[in-house]
Amino acid sequence: MATATQHAADDTEKNNAVIEKYEIPEPEPFISFAALKDRIRHHYEMASDYYYSLWGEHIHHGYFLTPEDTKEKAQLQLIELLLERSALPKGSKVLDVGCGIGGTSRFLAKNHDCAVTGVTISGRQVEIAKKITLEAGGSEPSEGNQTSTLGSGSVRFVELDAEKMGVFFTSAPNEEKFDCVWISEAMSHLPNKALFFENAHLLLKDGGKLVVADWFKNEGLSEKEFKDDISPIEDGMLLPPLCTQADYVNFAKAAGLKVFTEPFDISKQVSKTWDISWALIQNPSLWAFAVSQGRDGLAFMQAFRAMRRGFANGSFRYAVMAYQK
C-alpha cells in the first residue's frame, strides 16, 4: 500500500511535469507605466473569476499562526492583525483601495460596523463584489445609491484607478473624507507610490489612519538575488519596481503622515500562502488558460515559483504597518 509520503512525491512529480511543459518567459522590457496599468486591468478582468473559484472571496495572503490553520482562517487573521496594529475604531468610514472582489470590505462592514467604499481598477471585480455582497445578505443598491447595508455596516464598490482617488473623492459632488484608508497588497501595483501616500493624507480626516499590508524586496540584495528572485516576481505579477519597507516609511513621512506602528515583518507567517497557491494551480486547464492569455498569463503562473523561492531565501518580504494623520 502506498504511503502518504509516496502519494505526495507522486503528486509533486505530476505537478512538475505540468509546469515543465512550459518555458519560463524572459521578463518583458519596460515600456511605460500606462502600458503596465492596462496590463494590470486586463489581468484582473480576465482572472478574477479564477481567483474567486480557487482562493475564495479574500484574495490576499493568510497569516498562519498554527499548523492547523486553514487558508480561510489565516486570511481572516491577517485582517484582524491589521485591525489590531492600527487600533481602528468600530464604525469607521473606510476607503478600501484595491478592494478586489470585496472580501475585506465586507468583513469590515459586517464584523467591524464600518461604512466601506471599495475601489478597484477592474469593472469585473466590481460586478463580482456586488454579487457576493448580495449573497452574503447585503441589501440591494438603488439606482441612485450604490451602497448596500451589511450587518451594522455598509459597503459600496467603485471602479476607479487608485492614482485618481485624490481627485475623485475631493471633487463635488463626491467630496468625502475617511477615518481610514486601507490598502492590502495593492500598493505594490501602483507606479507612483509617493502620490498614493499624498492622496491618502488628503483624504484622511485629522487623526485618521492609513493601514497597509504589502510585499517588499529585502534591503541590500545582490544583483544575482534580484535577478533570480525579484525580477520574475515583478514581471509575472505585473509590478513596477518593488520597494523596501523603509521606502514606505519615507513616503509616508514625506506626505505628512506619522508612523502609528512601525513595519511588522510577518514573512514567515504568510509564506505558506504560496505553498497552498502552488498546489492550487497544478491544474492543466489553468495552465492552458494561462497560455491562451499570452506571455503575461504564463509569466504570472511561473511567478508563483519565484514567490516561494523569494520567501525561502529572505529576498522577498511581507509586512504590515499603520500611519496617522
Supply 22's cell numbers. Answer: 512550459
Instruction: Dig out the grid coordinates for 89 from the structure.
Output: 475604531
- Specify the pTM: 0.85
Euclidean distance between CA atoms 239 and 259, whole angstroms: 25
Report the distance separating Cα 264 and Cα 179, nearest Å.
22
Cα distance between residue 76 and residue 62, in whole Å: 7
Does some domain include residue 9?
A: no
The conformation of residue 256, written as its DSSP 8-state character, comes to: T
Distance CA 59, CA 62 (A): 9
Identify the bridge partners of residue 213 per DSSP, sorted by sequence position.
184, 320
Give a yes or no: residue 43 inside a domain: no
Q: 62-84: per-residue pLDDT in tens?
A: 999 999 999 999 999 999 999 99
Give the containing element (helix H, strand E) for 133.
helix 123-135
d(CA 149, CA 109): 8
Residue 47 belongs to some domain of the structure:
no
Q: What is the dihedral of CA 79, 266, 69, 106, to 10 degrees?
A: 10
Q: What is the pLDDT of residues 270-317, one digit of tens each?
A: 999 988 887 777 767 666 666 666 667 777 777 888 899 999 999 999
* Counted domains in the chain: 1
End-to-end CA distance of the chain: 63
pLDDT value of residue 298: 74
Q: In this predicted model, what pLDDT tens digit does every residue of 152-211 receive, in sequence order? A: 999 999 999 999 999 999 987 778 999 999 999 999 989 899 999 999 999 999 999 999
Structure letter (DSSP) for residue 142: B
- 108 phi and psi angles, rounded to 5 deg: -65, -35
Residue 295 phi, psi dihedral angles, 5° rounding: -65, -30
Most confident of 58-62, 119-123, 138-142, 247-251: 247-251
The DSSP code for 143 is T
The CATH number that applies at residue 107 is: 3.40.50.150
Residue 38 lies in a domain: no
Is 297 exposed, middle or buried, given 0-12, 13-18 or 19+ CB atoms closer than 10 A?
A: buried
Per-chain mean pLDDT for the chain = 86
Does a structural domain hold residue 41? no
Domain of residue 213 covers 66-324
Decide if 2 is inside a domain. no
Q: Examine residue 34 and state whether it is found in any structural domain, yes or no.
A: no
How crowded is residue 247: how many other Cβ atoms within 10 Å of its Cβ?
16
How confident is the model over 206-240, as pLDDT tens digits? 999 999 999 999 999 999 999 989 998 888 888 89
CB 46 within 8 A of CB 293: yes
Q: Which pairs with CB-CB distance under 8 Å and at least 24 residues apart come from 40-43?
A: 40/121, 40/189, 40/238, 41/121, 41/122, 42/296, 43/238, 43/296, 43/300
**Residue 7 maps to a domain:** no
Which strand (E) or helix (H) includes residue 318? strand 316-324
